[in-house]
Amino acid sequence: MVSQCMQVLQCALVLLLLQPQKTLAALRSYNLTLNAGTRAPDGVKREVYLVNGQQPGPLTEADEGDDLEIFVQNDLPVEQTIHWHGLLQRGTPDMDGVPGITQFPIPPGGNFTYRFSTGTEYGAYWNHSHFRAYYDDAVRGPLLIHPSPSRRRPFESLAQDSKELDTMLRVERAATPLLLADWYHRLSDVIYDEYFKTGAFPQCVDSLLANGYG
C-alpha cells in the first residue's frame, strides 16, 4: 500500500514538473490626460486633442504577460473612450473601450481606469479614441508589447554567433514605433457635420503624418 502511494506521488510530481512554468506578471501603470491645444504638425495650425500634451500620445510599453493599468483623465470638451487596437481582451471585454457596448463614454472632466492583461499577446499595436472620429484629432498613441525571452525569434537563423544574436535582441528591445496617420486641417466634428448635412465625405486628406510630423 505504501509503495502504491509513493508511485502515485511520484506520478503527480512528474506531471507538476511538466506543466509550463508561469512567472509573476508585472504591473505597468500609466496616466493619460486628454486636453485641447494648438499644433501645426504639417505647417498649418489647427486645434488638436492631445494626450499628455503631445501628438501622438506617449508610448505605452509592456512585456508579454504583464498587467496594464491605465488611468485616463478626460479634460477635453467632448466625451471619449480609449480602444486598445489589436488586443483580444480575453477575460476583460469591458476594457475594450467601445462606447455603448463595453462602457459609457468618459464625460468631459471625468476619468476611467482600464485594467487588463497582455496575456500571451505581443507585438506592435496602438491605442486611440473610439468615440466618434476623435482619433483623427490626434487622440492616439503607440502600444508596444515585447515578446517573452522564451519565444524564438525569426532572426535567430541570421545570427552567426551568440554575440550577434544578443545585439539583435538589444535592437529589438530598443525598437522605435512608427505611427502613420491621415491628417485633416479641420476638427473631425466639423468634417462629419458637413457629411451628415450633404452626404459628401471628404475623400482627400490634407497630409500624412509620421509620428506626428508631416
The pLDDT-based confidence of 20 (bands split at 50, 70, 90) is very low
CA distance 205 to 124: 25
Residue with cell 508511485: 7
Q: Binning pLDDT at 50, 70 and 90, where does residue 13 land?
A: very low
**202 falls in which pLDDT band (50, 70, 90)?**
confident
pLDDT average, residue stretch 97-114: 98
Pick among 2.60.40.420, 3.90.1150.10, 1.10.3720.10, 3.30.1330.10: CATH of 23-146+178-210 = 2.60.40.420
Going by pLDDT thresholds of 50, 70 and 90, the confidence category of residue 1 is low
Domain ranges of the chain: 23-146+178-210
Tell me if 70 sits within 8 A of 34, measured CB to CB. Answer: no
pTM of the shown model: 0.84
Q: In the prediction, which pLDDT does 203 show?
A: 74
Q: What average pLDDT does range 78-88 have in this prediction? A: 97
Residue 16 clears pLDDT 50, i.e. is over it: no
